[in-house]
């Protein structure tokens, strides 16, 4: 086994004779210093396939060694492979016993850690693993593959063809050969695999992808790939070279997710110790619990929540902790001050732990300080949201109480026992139908075109869209009505409105149907057989009818909502008045707190200042 590495690229290669062959005809080059990596699979068996691969290997290495600084990279790689082919061919011609020997070749030349040139002849392959996806970079030079490319064989027929392994190109058959070159730009974390057919012939593509993407070091991967081929039968020599491009430097988020989260969790006992020293076990929230139980229930829970949020770059665990802590305390009738004191203790404990990490690892400590501070802000936001929700509930309760009191005072005696309240009314108010409109009348040709247009629109309506069909019928009645009144529109709108609640569920379907009808009629105008002038008049008449119908429907909605609008206006005024009273009460409470602040017990965990500025 051969292995090597540079500060930029990690690479390793391995080879095995397999379970059937007695000699290993594969050869390889692993030369990180020159960026040259080659796999060769000798052919010829008794005709010295192993000699062919070794001759080509040495010729390629020597060519690159002497010309790397004087030739362009593409020409250098192609010339090296040609030199290998010429060397094998010359040796085969000079020695009758070696006549017919040859070798495949797949080579990688890396001018720098971010670029690679792949050259190949034969059926040894190069693969690229990028983002967990395995891609084949080379195309096998076999007779069957050539037939597939020309459309003479299907891929399915090629898999079953008896000559699918017969090469159409190799090094040694001629003094010169055609070399395919592929240039790729490597991305951080990419992996290249060079291999002989002993690997992919006995290992599945899925298995190769899984092992290559395992994240293990290249030397382990090269060995594991060979083991995979051996478990698949090992019927041929197998050689693998794994090349790993430089990894991208870890981002600050990745450092926090890995090193930061681990460093935080390793100091959990220190977190608990500081929390105990700061008085967590004496806080009223944990009254009745044993000290260790209180530390585990509160401090360790937050420490664990921060750890999980650091791992996943989220805030959901800390948010849930804060809401559960505050919600449970408020449900027990708890006051704000103990909760504020508890969060201050936990915040101090967190900053103490982070400061200690920062003295040991300044960069990690800085990133962790930002992440933990963000977690504590998330906890404060959770508390603020819970308090805002409680305040809104108090406001709502005050409004309901005040409204109920006013209704009791203001209502006539005969209504006190009816149970009538401010509720939805699905009734239709009266709308005057005698509003004048301007209608100059349309010709018989236009009226006929209107009827045809709306007939087409009804035919294009979905079977269950009954309300849309009603709107189309209403539009036809309004557009063909020659009277100079608004009555037709009002009556049609009343039929459409029917009995519905004054809310989104009741009103929106009506206006959705009006809008769909407008779209249908606009497109159906173009389906009738008429002149452009007639179509324009039809569109104008139907549009005017649609405007009148929408106006009448809107009037119905406004009148139906009028009682609710009035009630809402009164409720808003009352709410504003109650908020002013709450603000005055809060101001008075704050003044009393400041006046008696010096009377706060200095033994309380939040200090003796008595300040309310948190």
Lowest-pLDDT range, 90-104, 259-273, 296-310, 505-519?
505-519
Mean pLDDT of 93-118: 90
Long-range contacts formed by 441-445: CB under 8 A, 24+ apart: 441/482, 442/480, 442/482, 442/537, 442/541, 445/530, 445/534
What proportion of the chain, given as a percentage, has pLDDT over 70?
82
Between 562 and 230, name the one with better pLDDT. 230
Q: Cβ(500)–Cβ(557) under 8 Å?
A: no
Please report the pLDDT score of residue 530 as a whole number.
82
Q: Which pLDDT value is given to residue 483?
A: 58
pTM for this one?
0.48
pLDDT reading at 3 higher than 70: no
Place of tokens 């149970």: 419
What pLDDT was estimated at residue 425?
38
**β-sheet bridge partners, residue 121:** 105
Average pLDDT over residues 429-437: 44
Structure confidence by residue, pLDDT tens digits, 134-154: 999 999 988 888 788 777 777
Q: Residue 469: pLDDT band by 50, 70, 90 thresholds?
A: confident
pLDDT digits (tens, 9 = 90+) for 409-425: 555 554 444 444 433 43
- Whether the per-residue pLDDT at 584 is higher than 80: the answer is no
Highest mean pLDDT among 130-144, 394-408, 462-476 belongs to 130-144
Q: pLDDT tens digit string along 366-391?
A: 888 888 988 888 888 888 777 777 77
Q: How far is CA 145 from the centre of its chain?
A: 40
Q: What is the pLDDT of residues 544-556, one digit of tens each?
A: 888 888 887 777 7
- Evaluate if residue 497 carries a pLDDT over 80: no
Which of 77-86, 263-272, 422-431, 447-456 shows the lowest per-residue confidence on average (mean pLDDT)?
Answer: 422-431
Q: Classify residue 110 by burial, with Cβ atoms within 10 Å: 0-12, 13-18, 19+.
A: buried
What's the rounded mean pLDDT across residues 487-491? 76
Strand partners, 184: 116
Output the pLDDT for position 69.
87
pLDDT, tens digit (0-9, with 9 covering 90-100), for 29-84:
999 999 999 999 998 654 688 999 999 999 999 999 999 988 999 999 999 999 99
Closest CA to 349 of 319, 311, 379, 381: 379
- As a whole number of angstroms, the distance between CA 349 and CA 598 comes to 27
* The pLDDT of residue 227: 93
In this prediction, residue 589 has a pLDDT band, given cuts at 50, 70 and 90, of low
- Candidates 3.30.465.10, 3.60.40.10, 1.10.150.20, 3.40.50.2000; CATH matching 2-244: 3.60.40.10
In this predicted structure, the answer to whether residue 21 has a pLDDT above a threshold of 50 is: yes
pLDDT at 612: 36
Bridge partners (DSSP) listed for residue 104: 41
Mean pLDDT of the chain: 81
Q: What is the Cα–Cα distance from 67 to 277, expressed in whole angstroms?
A: 72
Q: Is the pLDDT of residue 293 over 50?
A: yes
Q: What is the structure's pLDDT at 409?
A: 55
Percent with pLDDT over 90 in the chain = 34
Longest CA–CA separation in the chain, Å? 126
| Tokens 């002497």 sit on residue | 66
155, pLDDT greater than 50 = yes
Burial of 132 from C-beta contacts in 10 A (0-12 / 13-18 / 19+): exposed
Q: What separation in angstroms does the CA of 137 have from each of 79, 118, 314, 435, 439?
A: 20, 8, 39, 79, 75
State mean pLDDT over 567-581.
73
Note the pLDDT of residue 402: 63
pLDDT grade for 271, boundaries at 50, 70 and 90: very high
What pLDDT was estimated at residue 345?
A: 94
Q: What is the pLDDT of residue 604?
A: 44
pLDDT at position 298: 93
Q: What is the mean pLDDT of residues 112-125?
A: 94
Exposed/middle/buried for residue 174 (C-beta within 10 Å: 0-12, 13-18, 19+):
middle
Q: Which two tokens stand for residue 386?
A: 């819970």
Reported as half-sphere exposure (CB side, CA atoms, 13 A), residue 355 has a value of 8
DSSP 196-254: -HHHHTTS-HHHHHHHHTS---HHHHHHHHHHHHHHTT--S-EEEEEEEPPPPPPPHHH
First to last CA, the chain: 66
Distances (CA, A) of 163 to 139, 157, 200, 580: 16, 11, 17, 93
- Average pLDDT, stretch 268-278? 94
74 three-state secondary structure = helix
pLDDT score at 349: 93
Q: Please give the backbone phi and psi of residue 238, each rounded to the nearest 5 degrees, phi first.
A: -135, 130
Question: What are the extents of the domains in the chain?
Answer: 2-244, 253-394, 426-608
């Amino acid at each position: 086994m051969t292995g090597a590495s540079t500060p930029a690229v990690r690479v390793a290669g391995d080879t095995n004779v397999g379970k059937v062959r007695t000699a290993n005809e594969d050869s390889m080059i692993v030369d990180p210093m020159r960026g040259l990596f080659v796999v060769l699979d000798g052919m010829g068996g008794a005709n010295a396939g192993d000699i062919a691969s070794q001759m080509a290997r040495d010729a390629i290495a020597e060519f690159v060694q002497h010309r790397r600084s004087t030739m362009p990279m593409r020409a250098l790689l192609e010339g090296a492979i040609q030199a290998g082919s010429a060397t094998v061919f010359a040796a085969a011609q000079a020695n009758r016993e070696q006549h017919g020997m040859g070798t495949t070749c797949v080579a990688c030349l890396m001018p720098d850690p971010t670029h690679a040139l792949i050259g190949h002849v034969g059926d040894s392959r190069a693969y690229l693993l990028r983002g967990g996806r395995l891609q084949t970079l080379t195309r096998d030079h076999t007779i069957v593959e050539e037939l597939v490319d020309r459309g003479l064989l299907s891929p399915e027929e090629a898999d079953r063809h008896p000559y699918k392994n017969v090469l159409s190109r190799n090094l040694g058959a001629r003094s010169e050969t055609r070399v395919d070159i592929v240039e790729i730009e490597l991305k951080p974390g990419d992996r290249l695999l060079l291999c002989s057919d002993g690997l992919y012939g006995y290992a599945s593509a899925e298995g190769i992808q899984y092992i290559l993407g395992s994240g293990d070091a290249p030397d382990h991967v090269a060995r594991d790939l060979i083991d995979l081929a051996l478990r698949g039968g090992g019927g041929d020599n197998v050689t693998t070279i794994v090349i790993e491009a430089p990894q991208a430097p870890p981002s600050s988020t990745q450092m926090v997710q890995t090193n930061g989260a681990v460093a935080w969790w390793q100091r959990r006992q220190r977190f608990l110790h500081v929390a105990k020293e700061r008085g967590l076990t004496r806080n009223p929230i944990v009254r009745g619990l044993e000290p260790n139980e209180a530390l585990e229930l509160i401090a360790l829970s937050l420490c664990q929540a921060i750890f999980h949020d650091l791992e996943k770059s989220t805030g959901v665990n800390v948010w849930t902790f804060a809401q559960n802590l505050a919600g449970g305390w408020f449900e027990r009738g708890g006051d704000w001050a103990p909760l504020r004191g508890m969060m201050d203790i936990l915040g101090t404990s967190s900053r103490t732990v982070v400061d200690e990490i920062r003295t040991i690892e300044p960069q990690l400590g800085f990133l962790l300080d930002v992440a933990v501070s963000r977690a504590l802000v998330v906890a404060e936001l959770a508390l603020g949201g819970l308090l805002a929700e409680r305040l809104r509930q108090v406001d709502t309760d005050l409004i309901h109480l005040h409204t109920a009191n006013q209704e009791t005072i203001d209502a006539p005696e005969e209504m006190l026992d009816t149970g009538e309240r401010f509720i939805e009314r699905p009734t239709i108010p009266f709308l005057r139908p005698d509003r004048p409109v301007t209608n100059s009348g349309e010709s018989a040709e236009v009226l006929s075109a209107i009827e045809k247009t709306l007939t087409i629109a009804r035919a294009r309506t979905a079977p269950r869209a009954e309300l849309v069909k009603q709107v189309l019928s209403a539009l036809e009645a309004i557009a063909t009505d020659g009277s100079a009144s608004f009555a037709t529109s009002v009556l049609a709108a009343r039929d459409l409105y029917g009995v519905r609640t004054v809310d989104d569920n009741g009103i929106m379907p009506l206006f959705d149907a009006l809008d769909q009808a407008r779209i249908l009629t606009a497109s159906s105008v173009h389906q009738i057989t008429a002149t452009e002038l007639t179509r324009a008049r039809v569109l104008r008449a139907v549009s005017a009818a649609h405007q009148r119908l929408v106006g009448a429907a809107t009037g119905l909605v406004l009148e139906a909502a009028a009682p609710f609008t009035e009630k809402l206006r009164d409720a808003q005024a009352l709410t504003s008045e109650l908020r002013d009273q709450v603000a005055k009460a809060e101001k008075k409470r704050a003044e009393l707190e400041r006046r008696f602040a010096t009377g706060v017990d200095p033994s309380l965990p939040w200090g003796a200042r008595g300040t309310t500025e948190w």
